[in-house]
């Protein structure tokens, strides 16, 4: 699978999982809504990264780390969906959801901005 295609697939997997979880899991509603909003905001940047990877036809370390974060996020959403009445688990996973959102924001504000700037200079 091409790197860009893997990125798009991982992003869509997380995005769909968050959208479904937002509708079905009331325990984490605020955290999931905030994460869904963040994912909507970064969707265009993911498309830009895919386009750059297609043009340059190369594997990038930054892209792989983003794919890993997106897949870890999808696993986290699955774990959140299994939490029922345990208040401590709710707090634990709520903190993890906020951390995932913060990591994605930092990644896109710093790493991806640098990546796109550097790669656009090569084009």
**What angle in degrees, to the nearest 10, is found between the helix axes of 29-56 and 113-122?**
10
The pTM assigned to this predicted structure is 0.84
Nearest to 70 by CA among 39, 41, 44: 39
Place of tokens 């959403």: 77
What is the Cα–Cα distance from 33 to 39, expressed in whole angstroms? Answer: 10
Residue spans per domain, the chain? 3-122
pLDDT exceeds cutoff 70 at 76: yes
Place of tokens 């509708």: 23
DSSP structural state of residue 85: S
What is the Cα–Cα distance from 113 to 108, expressed in whole angstroms? Answer: 6
pLDDT exceeds cutoff 90 at 84: no
* Per-residue model confidence as pLDDT tens digits over 88-114: 999 999 999 999 999 999 988 888 778
91 φ/ψ sector (left φ>0, alpha ψ -120 to 50, else beta)? alpha
What is the Cα–Cα distance from 46 to 112, expressed in whole angstroms? Answer: 9
């Amino acid at each position: 699978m091409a790197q860009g295609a893997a990125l798009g697939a991982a992003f869509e997997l997380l995005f769909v999982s968050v959208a479904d979880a937002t509708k079905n899991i009331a325990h984490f509603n605020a955290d999931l809504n905030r994460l869904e909003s963040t994912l909507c905001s970064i969707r265009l940047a993911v498309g830009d990264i895919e386009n750059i990877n297609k043009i340059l036809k190369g594997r990038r370390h930054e892209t792989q780390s983003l794919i890993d974060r997106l897949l870890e996020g999808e696993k986290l959403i699955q774990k959140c969906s299994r939490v029922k009445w345990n208040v401590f688990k709710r707090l634990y996973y709520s903190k993890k959801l906020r951390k995932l959102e913060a990591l994605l924001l930092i990644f896109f504000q710093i790493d991806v901005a640098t990546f796109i700037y550097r790669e656009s200079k090569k084009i």
